[in-house]
């Protein structure tokens, strides 16, 4: 498998994970691909990816030859990957691109990865309380949902997990990436 340009180094802090190689598919070097992009096939908008086996490994630049739908899932054949054992060797790898390659967003729009780790504060009925940190987000039919973990956040009101709808202007009042906070109008008892 091609490992990219010689000497090319990836800045780990600039990488945004867009997907994961989920396992081998067939005998000709194909892999199942889990895409984390809003439209699953959008991961194919990036011809060059960076891949790593685990957080303890360095990112390396790779290219894919083919990306297609197989039923309801995406499968990919990485450049130079022609046999099942090659595909099995990269199973579990994360796929990322440098943050600089992501499309620009409109003002007050955010990528999910930018919200992970923000301290969530509520200003419910005029009292400012810390609920925890954003651990993940979920897409639902009606709106996105912020998963807020109190556990592990010293300043948190309690150790609960809360699911808060991501409704800018209604529930989400302010996102301050510079200061690492997300202000919501949410009853801490809910």
Q: State which residues of the chain have pLDDT below 50.
A: 1-8
Main-chain dihedrals φ then ψ at residue 41, nearest 5 degrees: -75, -10
- The 127-139 sheet, strands edge to edge: 161-165, 144-149, 127-139, 119-124, 181-184, 172-176
Burial 7-31 (b: 16+ CB within 10 A, else e): eeebeeeebbebbbbbebbeeebbb
What pTM did the predictor assign?
0.69
Confidence at residue 141, expressed as pLDDT on a 0 to 100 scale: 79
Confidence at residue 54, expressed as pLDDT on a 0 to 100 scale: 85
Strand partners, 63: 48
Confidence at residue 10, expressed as pLDDT on a 0 to 100 scale: 59
- pLDDT tens for 99-134 read 889 888 888 888 888 899 999 999 877 889 999 999
The pair of structure tokens assigned to 9 is 């180094």
């Amino acid at each position: 498998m091609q490992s990219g340009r010689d000497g090319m180094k990836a800045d780990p802090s600039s990488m945004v994970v867009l997907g994961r190689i989920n396992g081998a598919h067939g005998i000709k070097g194909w892999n199942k691909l889990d895409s984390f992009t809003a439209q699953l096939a959008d991961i194919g908008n990036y011809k060059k990816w960076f891949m790593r086996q685990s957080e303890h490994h360095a990112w390396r630049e790779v290219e894919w030859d083919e990306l297609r739908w197989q039923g309801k899932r995406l499968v990919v054949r990485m450049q130079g990957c022609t046999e099942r054992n090659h595909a099995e060797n990269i199973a579990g790898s994360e796929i990322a691109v440098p943050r600089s390659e992501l499309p620009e967003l409109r003002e007050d729009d955010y990528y999910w990865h930018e919200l992970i780790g923000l301290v969530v504060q509520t200003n419910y009925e005029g009292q400012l309380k810390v609920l925890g940190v954003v651990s993940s987000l979920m897409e639902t039919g009606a709106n996105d949902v912020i998963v807020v973990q109190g556990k592990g956040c010293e300043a948190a009101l309690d150790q609960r997990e809360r699911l808060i709808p991501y409704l800018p202007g209604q529930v989400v009042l302010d996102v301050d990436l510079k200061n690492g906070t997300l202000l919501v109008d949410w009853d801490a008892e809910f």
